[in-house]
Amino acid sequence: MLPQTLQPKKGVDDIWPVNGKRVLIRVDFNVNIRTGVIENDYRIRLAIPTISRILDQGGICILMSHLGQPKSVDINTAAMIREECQQRKKHILSYDGGSKISFFEKLSGEDKALILSWSSRKEKLMSLSVNPGSGKTAVFAKLPDEEKKHLIARFIKESTERVFQKPFQTTKSEQEFSLRLVGERLAELLDQRVFFAYDCLNARKEIKKLGPGDVMLLENLALYEEENSTDENKRLQMAQILASYGDIYINDAFTLVQSEAASITGIPKVMGHGVAGYFMDKEISYWIQLLNKPARPLTLIVGGSSLSSKIWLIDYMLTLVDSLIIGGGVALPFLKAQGHPTGATKCDEEIVRRARKVLKTAHERKVNVHLPVDHLCHNDPSPTARPMITNDANIPDGFTALDIGPKTISTFAKVIGSSKSVIWNGPMGMFEMPCYSKGTFAIAKVIGDATVRRGLLSTIIGGDTTIAAERCEQVARVSHVWASTVALDLLEGKLLPGIGALDNKD
C-alpha cells in the first residue's frame, strides 16, 4: 500500500529532445561552508548525472538551490534595493575626476565609512557614526588630494567588481549565504565554466545570453521570503518569475520533497509539468520497491526514547511488515501493556493503551512482535558505574532501562537473520555512553553483516540511528541510509508535495 504521492514519475530520459532548450533544475546544494571552504561536496556531486545528461544533449542548465536560512526580503523590497543600487551605480560610474569632495559627499554613510577605513586618518572613524552629518565628509576633505584620488579610484574599482553584482550581498553575514563558492566547486566537477546570477529573480538578461551546453547557477533562493512563504499566492509570484527562465522543469532534490517551496511545487504548477532528476528517480524507485514489493520477510526495527513520536510509523507499517522489533524507551509502554513493571520510568496510560492496541492489531494481521527480554539498568540518573543486567523483561523499582540485554540482542539477531528486508529507525539504548552502546552497535553489526554476506536489503533512517551506525562503522555496509525525515514521512504514509507535483509515468 503506497502513499498517495509515491508513484513512478517521468524522468530525465522522458523529455527529449532538449537541444537548445533551457532546463530548470532544482538541486539541493545546501552544503556546510566554513571560513570559505565547502566541508563536503556530496550533495553537489549527486546532481552531476542529471546536469551532465542535459549538457550532453545540447541543453542549457539553469540550477536553483537554497543555502542555509539567511535573512530574506520580499520581492517588492528587493526591487527597491535594486533601484537604489542602480542609482548608486550611476552616481559612482558617472564620476569624471571632478570635485572629489562633492563626489564623496553624495555617497551613503556606509560607503563613506568604507573609504575612510582605507585612509591615513582611519582612527578618526572610530568616533563617527554611519549616520549623515557625523563629520565624515570633513575628515575626507582634510586628506591630501593625491590620497583622495587614490581612495576614490579604489572605491570605484571595488564597487564595480563586487557590490554592483550582488545587491543583496553587502554584509559579511549575508555573504556566508551565497552560492558563489558552490558554483566554483561545480565548475571544477564539471570541468567547464559555470555562470553565476547574483540575483535569482533578476537574471533574465543573463539567461538569454546562454547557449547550448552552458550552465548557470542562480543565487540562493532563500534570500527571497516568497520561496518559503506560507502564502501560496506569494510562492506562486516567485515561481512565475523562475518559470519564465526555462522550458523544462526537473526536480533532483529528493531531500526537499516535504517542502511546498516556490521552487519545489510552485514552478511545476506554473509550467504545467515536472519531471524527476536521476537522483530523485532513484530514490522514488527504491521506496516504491521497498514499500510495495519488498523481499520478504520484511522486518521493522523501532527504537528511540519515546513511543509518542513513533506511534504513527508503527501504525502505518503494520500493514506492510512481517515482523516488528521494538527496543529502547519505545518498548516500555508495550512491556507495561503486557504486565511487566517498568521501574523508574512511568508510562502514560494513554500511551500504554495505544501500545495495547498495536499489539492487538499486530496479532490480527499475523505480524510477529519482538520485545526486550532483558535489560541493562541503573538506578543513577547519570549512570557511570557498572550497569545491572536483569534476568527477564521486568525492570526493578528505582531502576531505568538504558540498553537491551544480551538475551535480547540474541533474540533480535535471529529475527534479522531470517529477514530479507530490514528497516531500522531508533537506537536500542543510550548509545552515546560506551557502557550502554552494546545493544545498538550489535544490531547495527548484525544488519551490516547480513547485508554484505547474503544481500539483505537494509535501510537505516533517522539522525540518531545514522550516527550510531557511523560510530560502529556500519554505514558503508548497509544498503540505504537516510538521516533526513523524508524517509520517516514515507514510512508513515504521508503525502509529499514535492513528489506529488511531478508528472506520473504513463
Give per-residue pLDDT as tens, 296-351: 999 999 999 999 989 999 999 999 999 999 999 999 999 999 999 999 999 999 99
Which of 3, 502, 4, 39 is CA-nearest to residue 277?
502
What global pTM score does this model have? 0.84
More confident residue, 135 or 409: 409
Same domain, 69 and 26: yes
Report yes or no on 6 lying in a domain: no
Neighbours of 388 (CB within 10 A): 15
CB of 329 within 8 A of CB of 425?
A: no
Residues 258 and 125 in one domain: no
Give yes or no: residues 380 and 441 share one domain.
yes
Tell whether the model's pLDDT for residue 122 goes beyond 90.
no
Reported as a single tens digit per residue, the pLDDT across 219-242 is 999 999 999 999 999 999 999 999
Domain co-membership, 179 together with 308: no
288 located within any domain: no
Residue 241 forms part of a structural domain? yes
- Peptide bond before residue 144 is cis, with ω within 30 degrees of 0: no
pLDDT, tens only, 395-438: 999 999 999 999 999 999 999 999 999 999 999 999 999 999 99
How many CA atoms does the CB half-sphere of 29 hold within 13 Å? Answer: 28
Clarify whether residues 423 and 324 are in a common domain.
Answer: yes
Please tell me whether residues 133 and 272 are part of one structural domain.
no
User: Domain total for the chain?
Assistant: 3
pLDDT of 135 higher than 90: no
pLDDT at position 173, please? 46
| Contact in structure between 376 and 428 (CB atoms under 8 Å) | no
Residue 381's pLDDT band (cuts 50, 70, 90): low
Same domain assignment for residues 306 and 439: yes
Dihedral through CA 73, CA 77, CA 78, CA 80, nearest 10?
Answer: -160
Of the chain, the percentage scoring pLDDT greater than 90 comes to 75
Positive or negative torsion for Cα 401, 407, 413, 417:
negative
C-alpha cell at 200: 535569482
- The Cα–Cα gap between 432 and 419 comes to 28
Q: Are residues 64 and 184 in the same domain?
A: yes
| Domain contains 271 | yes
Q: Which of 151, 162, 227 is nearest to 196 (CA)?
A: 162
Is residue 56 included in any domain, yes or no? yes
Q: Which of 283, 312, 340 is the last residue of a domain?
A: 283
361, 426: one domain: yes
Choosing from 283, 306, 325, the residue where a domain stops is 283
* Residue 124 DSSP code: G
Same domain, 192 and 321: no
pLDDT over 90 (residue 147): yes
* pLDDT tens digits, 46-74: 999 999 999 999 999 999 999 999 989 99
CATH value at residue 271: 3.40.50.1260
Assess whether 309 and 433 both reside in one domain: yes
- Residue 276: which domain range? 12-73+174-283
Listed in order, strand segments (DSSP E) in 97-142 are none
Considering the domain architecture, whether residues 224 and 353 belong to the same structural domain is answered as no
